[in-house]
Amino acid sequence: MAKPKKQSASAINSVADFNRGVIGDININISSRPPVVVKEKYADGTIGRDAKRRNYVAYLLSQYYEFKKADVSFGVPEDEHARVMAGLYKVVNNTIRKNFGAYPNALPVDAFGDLVEFMQKRIDGTRLGRKQKKAGHQNYKSFEEHAALSAPDTP
């Protein structure tokens, strides 16, 4: 009977799967995954690309939802609040798209002032917004106030 050959320390041994091997005392892992390509979500010159503007629009939208939530509590049965609020997110974004031609973050930076004015009017037009404005309370921060509170842009 033939004696099996002894493998040298530098021989390549397959371990568990074809992407791993051992050469002597060195473990080698070979990854067969393609490199991750990071796609930029928004084009240059859009609100979504400018962090401070994007965050301010998100802030105004959240303010509007909070004010509208107070409106919904007037006259809508409590068991329907969630359904009404869920539909509101879609309605607001579609209204912006209809009036401006794109969703908020995809709009050009030039449309930022008009979008802000549109959102501020929507906030001021809610029941809570009218009530607070009448009482002399501020319904939202200005862009400058909000930008001063947020973290500085990172390159």
Task: Place 26 in a pLDDT band, splitting at 50, 70 and 90.
Answer: low
Number of other residues whose CB lies within 10 A of the CB of residue 140 = 20
pTM score over 0.75: no
Per-residue model confidence (pLDDT) at position 88: 78
**Residue pair 57/119 in contact by the 8 Å Cβ criterion:** yes
Per-residue model confidence (pLDDT) at position 27: 62
Q: What is the pLDDT of residues 57-99, one digit of tens each?
A: 999 999 998 888 887 766 666 666 666 677 777 888 889 999 9
**Residue pair 83/105 in contact by the 8 Å Cβ criterion:** no
The whole-angstrom separation of Cα 135 and Cα 9 is: 84
Contacts of 89 (CB under 8 A, 6+ apart): 65
What average pLDDT does range 48-54 have in this prediction? 91
